[in-house]
Amino acid sequence: MITTKDVSFKARDLGGLEIQGRLFFPENFDESQKHPAIVVNHPTTSDFNQTSGKIYATKLAQRGWLALAYDSPYQGRSEGEPHNSEIPYARTIGVMAAIDFLDTLSYVDPERIGAMGICGGGGYTLNAAKFDKRIKAVAGICPADVGTIYRETFGQNDQALIKSLEDMAKQRTAEAQGEPIKYIPALPASQEEREKAGINDIDIKQAIDYYLTPRGHDEFAPNQYVYSSVSMMINFDPAILAEKLATQPLEIIVGDVPGAFGSYRFGYEYYDKAAADDKELVVLPGVSHYDLYDQPEATDTAVAKLNDFFGNRL
Q: What is the pLDDT of residue 224?
A: 94
- Cross-strand partners of 19: 9
**Beta-bridge partner residues of 293:** none
Give the pLDDT band of residue 199 (cuts 50, 70, 90): very high
Contacts 24+ apart (CB under 8 A), 83-86: 83/226, 84/45, 84/183, 84/222, 84/224, 84/225, 84/226, 85/225, 85/226, 85/229, 86/44, 86/45, 86/120, 86/146, 86/225, 86/226, 86/229, 86/230, 86/232, 86/233
Residue 167 exposed, middle or buried by CB count within 10 Å (0-12, 13-18, 19+): middle
Q: Per residue in 227-286, pLDDT tens?
A: 999 999 999 999 999 999 999 999 999 999 999 888 999 999 999 999 999 999 999 999
φ/ψ (deg, to 5) at 6: -75, 135
Is residue 184 within 8 A of residue 224, CB to CB? The reply is yes
DSSP string, 159-172: HHHHHHHHHHHHHH
Number of domains in the chain: 1
On average, the pLDDT of the chain sits at 97
Mean pLDDT of 102-125: 98
pLDDT score at 238: 96
Q: Answer whether residue 33 is part of any domain.
A: yes
Per-residue pLDDT band for 46 (boundaries 50, 70, 90) equals: very high
With left for phi above 0 and alpha for psi between -120 and 50, is residue 45 left, alpha or beta? Answer: left
Q: Is residue 74 part of a domain?
A: yes
pLDDT band at residue 155 under the 50/70/90 scheme: confident
Mapped onto helix, strand or coil, the DSSP state of residue 283 is strand
Tell me the pLDDT band of 156, cut-offs 50, 70 and 90. confident
Q: Is residue 253 a part of any domain in this protein?
A: yes
**What is the reported pLDDT for 262?**
86
Side chain identity, residue 17: L
Arithmetic mean of pLDDT, 184-212 = 95
Does residue 217 lie in a domain region? no
Rounded CA gap, 133 and 129, in Å? 6
Taking the alpha carbons of 288, 289, 295, 299 in that order, is the dihedral positive or negative? positive
- pLDDT tens figures, 67-92: 999 999 999 999 999 999 999 999 99
Residue 215 domain flag: no
Domain presence at residue 173: no
Q: Which domain holds residue 252?
A: 3-145+237-313
Q: Determine the pLDDT at residue 35.
A: 98
CA quadruple 272, 274, 277, 281: dihedral sign? negative
Asked, for residue 80, whether it belongs to a domain, the answer is yes
In the chain, the largest separation of any two C-alpha atoms, in whole Å, equals 60
Contact 295, 257 (CB under 8 A): no
Helix axes 146-154, 158-176, angle to 10 degrees: 100
- pTM score of the predicted model: 0.96
Dihedral (CA of 296, 302, 304, 310) sign: negative
Per-residue pLDDT tens for 167-192? 999 999 999 999 999 999 999 999 99
CA distance 105 to 120: 27
Over residues 148-161, the mean pLDDT reads 90
We report the CATH number of the domain holding residue 252 as 3.40.50.1820
Q: Is residue 76 situated within a structural domain?
A: yes
